[in-house]
């Protein structure tokens, strides 16, 4: 239900998480959007989508068989074309003129290959993300040739296999929550589905991306912006603050935060 929760966006308007994610995709000139949902949730998601609801396609995932299986459900919608994939529990704040998804799509088009957005992330957060390893693309700032992908590695495993030259000590390139993927990904997912036992759960995307790196060129791009997962402790609060502090109401929000901090300090002094 996280995509159905509401926040105040950077323009000061109340929107659902889903609506904000859709806006990010539209800024990247995406004109056809498919949402994978639990059967029966279509109406709630359509209502949360707002003005663009009529343009959305919905695909039900008939059983909770994992993240990779959810992506595979959209195979017919993708129709053998490259596609932008965004998760439903992350929000993004760009520090550039273009949105994070627009940056990613432009990089994928320029390099004619799959590209995953990544963010340099502290070692203690590895249990929450997929991680890539590789080498910097010569002459390109923030762009990496991916040769390894691991899902939620331990710090020991990350140190052994996923260190990337040039990153700060104790930091790794973790997934940002959006990817531009090639048709090969859908082919690999279908292969995984065919070999899986009927009803098997827990089908992940990261092993498929690891195989993708072995089969064709696959890049990682450090986005000019930050991702904010809304599913963790204080995740929704952190995302709301990030949106507010980057938007039209920044001064008002900062003033309110300063008041709260001042009241807290005064309360301590009175004790």
% of residues, the chain, pLDDT over 90: 87
Query: What pLDDT is stored for residue 170 in this prediction?
Result: 93
- What is the secondary structure of 117-172 as a DSSP string? EEEEEEGGGGGGSEEEEEEEPTT-TTEEEEEEEEES--HHHHHHH---TTSPTTEE
Find the mean pLDDT for residues 185-213: 87
Task: Give the whole-angstrom CA distance, residue 146 versus residue 114.
Answer: 10
Dihedrals φ, ψ of 30, to 5°?
-80, 125
Q: Decide if pLDDT at 268 tops 80.
A: no
200-218 confidence digits (pLDDT tens): 667 899 999 999 999 999 9
The residues with which 226 forms a beta bridge, in sequence order, are 93
Dihedrals φ, ψ of 65, to 5°?
-100, 15
Q: What is the DSSP letter of 2?
A: G
Task: Give the whole-angstrom CA distance, residue 9 versus residue 267.
Answer: 32
Task: Give the whole-angstrom CA distance, residue 205 versus residue 207.
Answer: 6
Q: Which CATH number fits domain 80-265: 3.10.20.600, 3.90.550.10, 3.10.20.30, 3.40.50.300?
A: 3.90.550.10
Task: Give the whole-angstrom CA distance, residue 244 versus residue 253.
Answer: 7
62-98 confidence digits (pLDDT tens): 988 899 999 999 999 999 999 999 999 999 999 999 9
Query: What pLDDT is stored for residue 198 in this prediction?
Result: 60
197 — pLDDT class (breaks 50, 70, 90): low
The residues with which 93 forms a beta bridge, in sequence order, are 226
Find the mean pLDDT for residues 241-267: 91
Prediction pTM value? 0.91
271 — pLDDT class (breaks 50, 70, 90): low
Contact call for residues 10 and 246 (beta carbons, < 8 A): yes
Query: What pLDDT is stored for residue 53 in this prediction?
Result: 83
Find the mean pLDDT for residues 143-157: 96
Contact call for residues 190 and 75 (beta carbons, < 8 A): yes
Q: Decide if pLDDT at 225 tops 70.
A: yes
Query: What pLDDT is stored for residue 55 in this prediction?
Result: 86
* Residue in this structure with the two tokens 């859908």, named with its chain if needed: 186
Q: Decide if pLDDT at 15 tops 60.
A: yes
The residues with which 60 forms a beta bridge, in sequence order, are 37
% of residues, the chain, pLDDT over 70: 97
Task: Give the whole-angstrom CA distance, residue 223 versus residue 99.
Answer: 9
Query: What pLDDT is stored for residue 127 in this prediction?
Result: 94
Q: Decide if pLDDT at 270 tops 80.
A: no
Q: Decide if pLDDT at 267 tops 90.
A: no
Find the mean pLDDT for residues 184-195: 92
244 — pLDDT class (breaks 50, 70, 90): very high
């Amino acid at each position: 239900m996280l995509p159905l929760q509401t926040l105040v966006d950077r323009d000061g308007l109340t929107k659902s998480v889903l609506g904000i994610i859709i806006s990010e995709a539209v800024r990247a000139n995406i004109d056809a959007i498919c949402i994978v949902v639990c059967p029966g949730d279509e109406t709630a998601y359509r209502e949360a989508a707002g003005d663009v609801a009529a343009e959305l396609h919905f695909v039900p995932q008939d059983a909770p068989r994992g993240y990779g299986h959810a992506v595979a459900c959209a195979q017919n919608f993708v129709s053998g074309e490259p596609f932008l994939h965004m998760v439903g529990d992350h929000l993004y704040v760009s520090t550039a003129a273009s949105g994070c998804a627009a940056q990613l799509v432009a990089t994928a088009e320029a390099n004619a290959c799959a590209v995953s957005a990544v963010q340099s992330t502290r070692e203690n957060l590895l249990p929450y993300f997929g991680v890539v390893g590789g080498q910097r693309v010569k002459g390109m700032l923030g762009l990496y040739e991916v040769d390894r992908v691991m899902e939620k590695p331990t710090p020991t495993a990350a140190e052994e296999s996923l260190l990337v030259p040039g990153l700060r000590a104790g930091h790794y390139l973790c997934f940002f929550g959006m990817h531009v993927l090639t048709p090969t990904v859908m082919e690999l997912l279908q292969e995984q589905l065919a070999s899986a036992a009927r009803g098997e759960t827990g089908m992940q995307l990261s092993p498929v991306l690891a195989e993708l790196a072995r089969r064709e060129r696959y890049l990682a791009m450090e986005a000019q912006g930050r991702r904010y997962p809304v599913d963790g402790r204080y995740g929704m609060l952190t995302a709301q603050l990030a949106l507010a502090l980057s938007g039209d109401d920044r001064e008002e929000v900062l003033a309110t935060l300063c008041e709260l901090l001042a009241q807290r300090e005064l309360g301590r002094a009175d004790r």
